Amino acid sequence: MVLLLFLGCYTLPGQPVADLGHATFLEKDRALVEEILNLNLAEKESPISTLMVKVGLHFLDTPYVAHTLETDEEKLVINVREVDCTTFAEYCLALSKTIQSSNPSFEQFATQLQRIRYRNGTINGYPSRLHYFCDWIYNNQKKEIVVDLSKEIAHTPLPKRIDFMSTHPESYAQLKENPEWVDVIAKQEQEISDRETYYVPESLLPEVEGQFMEGDIVGITTGVKGLAISHVGILVKRSGRIHLLHASSAAGKVVVSENTLEIYLKNSKSATGVMVARPLQEPKEKQVRVN
């Protein structure tokens, strides 16, 4: 095992640094994060797409557990022992970017995770979390963490009104307990709905599959009213075809789909296609030390 001796925290100028006093995790989480970092430090010069897959495969058979982020006070929850589809993708991305950073430590992982999970990287109550994955892609593209390739690949608009949370507040414990947040969420939903959003329709997948890469993050678009994306995963190749590495509620754990992504979408009653977010390399030249 390589000992982690980094005590400072490296991040991008102007980006918030995670305060571990305002994070919640178990020592098992720290140990698992440090184990994955140590096992992959030799790969830090690899493309981030390669790291996304390598890191993702460490999570195989990790239990699927929903609602792990819900706390009385909004905190940076780090629970790599139990994941849902979104937290799985977030942990893989934060770990991959931490491996590429000048400070591959648990503290840097927490900073990367906060930067990824929250609007503009800042925790400011429940509404500051990026609840809708289409908004997650948009905000993380603004932060130069990913690039949205959906328009480039398929040139197909996804005109949808996003309002599921504000029209179903009873489904969210935090909104039930804090009804004043419903209006805040509704304003965010209006902003999301007003954007030009693109996707890759299921019908186009066979002709454009060659433009996808292993390590791409995909959001499965849905016909469900009020939502754009209902599931999230990471792309991997098996026998030359694209499959989905994801935290599956049906399997109850992290798995690689037996079927190709094309067949996976065809077998889903609500899936209409995908949005594609490609992780960007960590910009080393911009890293600075923050005490």
Secondary structure of residue 264 in the 3-state scheme: helix
- pLDDT at residue 71 in the model: 92
Question: Is the C-alpha dihedral spanning 50, 212, 150, 88 positive or negative?
Answer: negative
Segments making up each domain of the chain, as ranges: 11-143, 146-279
The arithmetic mean of pLDDT across residues 58-81, rounded, is: 96
| pLDDT higher than threshold 80 for residue 12 | no
- pLDDT at residue 288 in the model: 35
**pTM of the prediction?**
0.91
For residues 157 and 201, the answer to whether their CB atoms sit within 8 Å is no
Residue-wise pLDDT for 243-266, tens only, equals: 999 999 999 999 999 999 999 999
CA distance 254 to 58: 10
**CATH code for the domain defined by 11-143:** 1.10.3670.10
Domains 11-143 and 146-279 share a fold: no
CA distance 162 to 173: 19
Residue 6's φ and ψ, nearest 5 degrees, are -85, 125
Enumerate residues 6+ apart whose C-beta is below 8 A from 191.
none
The CATH T-level fold of domain 146-279 is putative xylanase like fold (2.30.260)
Give, in degrees to the nearest 5, the angle at Cα 17 between 11 and 18. Answer: 125
CA distance 231 to 222: 9
